[in-house]
Each structure stands twice: as C-alpha cells, then as structure tokens.
Amino acid sequence: MYVIVQTDPSRAPKAYRVDSPAGLYLVDKPPFTSELMRRFRARRRARFEAWAKGIAQAIIVILSLGIACLTFFGVIQMRVVLSDSMSGTFNKGDVVVALNPSIVPPRIDDIVIFHYYNIDRTEKIADFSHRIIGGTSAGGWQTKGDANDEPELSPVLKDDVVGVVIGWVPWAGNLLQPNIMILVVAVIFAAYVAGPELRDRIRTRKAT
C-alpha cells in the first residue's frame, strides 16, 4: 500500500510504501499518480506559465519602447516596399529596416533609402531603396534596383541618403494594409473575449 503526504503546499508531495504496521518507506516514484501530485504539478505549471508570460510581456514592451524611441529620434526607420525594383533581394510588400547614414555611412554595394530627384533636381520623384553600384560620397552615388536593367540617371548626393538598409521583414508590409489590420484587431479582440471561456471548456473536457 502507498500513502501520499503533503505537509507544505509549496513542496511536492512525498510517497511512502507501507509494508507492515512498522514498515514505512519513502519512495521516489509510486506506481500511480495521486490527486495531490496532479494538483501540485498543475499549480507549479501555472506558476511557470505565469512567470514565462510575464517575462515575455516585459521583453515585448521593452523592445517596442526601444524601437519606438529609436524611430522617434531617427536612428532607425522602417519602410514598406512599394515596387518590384529590388525583386530577388526583397519584394513588394516587405518592410525594410534602415539605420541613419550618420551611424552607418553608405558604401558601394550597400542598399540605401534615398530621395530621388529628376536630372536638374527641380522635382522630387520618390523615395527609393536601391543598391549603390558606384560613385563616391563626395561626388554622388550611382544606384540601381537589383531587378532593373539600368541604373538611375541622376546621381544620389550624400544628403539624399536617409537610411542604410540592414535587413528586411518579408510580407510584413502586407499586414499594415487597413483591411488586414482590421481583421487582425478583430481576431485579437475575439480571442481576448472568448479565450478564458474556451480554456475553461478545454480544461473541463480534460478533467472528465
């Protein structure tokens, strides 16, 4: 016969084997799982999940605040790719992440975000994210989209460069579309409202 004893709720129950009125032996693992052990493991698992959830939330908040501050002060920027001119490297709908050129000076073969003007620089055409294929910082950079046949006609001056691309996130730009954002918010709200009830139902089914 086995006896399960728990003197402290914060500590695991102990199992004893009773061989005779005078024979009581502590065992590492009884041949069954008692209700006391199940409850203790459930409480321990719940504490661990709450601890892990708190740590994850803290990390997310710190990262979010850090990125927001860096973006506010112009250290980094994120841009949604709107064309296929860099297809094969990153594609339309991706999000590129760039550092301020004062922190990472652009060099040949870097991908940079820049203001692009017409030849006589009387009109800004758009902001591009293309690769530097030649030129110098002093005389102007020659740039080209990886998927384009020809480079830009106008040189890109030092002050035109607003960011040096350090990475990109595939498809992230598509999630920023208004209809997708509405869907994501609706799903999160539904999960927040219905989540506790669904968890209770799942636990009830497991218990039965």
Mean of pLDDT over the chain: 84
User: Checking DSSP bridges between strand 140-144 and strand 95-99, what pairing results, if any?
Assistant: unpaired
How confident is the model over 62-115, as pLDDT tens digits? Answer: 988 998 899 889 899 999 999 999 999 999 999 999 999 999 999 999 999 999
C-beta atoms surrounding 163 within 10 Å = 25
How confident is the model over 120-129, as pLDDT tens digits? Answer: 889 999 999 9
pLDDT higher than 90, residue 4 = no
**pLDDT classification of 203: cutoffs 50, 70, 90:** low
User: Checking DSSP bridges between strand 76-80 and strand 124-136, what pairing results, if any?
Assistant: unpaired
Query: Amino acid identity, residue 22?
Result: A
Distance CA 108, CA 156 (A): 12
The arrangement of strands across the sheet holding 161-169 comes to: 76-80, 95-99, 161-169, 111-117, 124-136, 140-144
DSSP category for residue 111? E
pLDDT at site 44:
81
pLDDT at site 87:
95
Instruction: State the average pLDDT over residues 16-38.
Output: 69
| Global model pTM greater than 0.85 | no
pLDDT at site 45:
84
Instruction: State the average pLDDT over residues 148-167.
Output: 95
**pLDDT classification of 208: cutoffs 50, 70, 90:** low
Domains and CATH numbers, the chain: 76-175 (2.10.109.10)
pLDDT higher than 80, residue 157 = yes
Torsion of CA 158, 125, 97, 173, to 10 degrees: 180
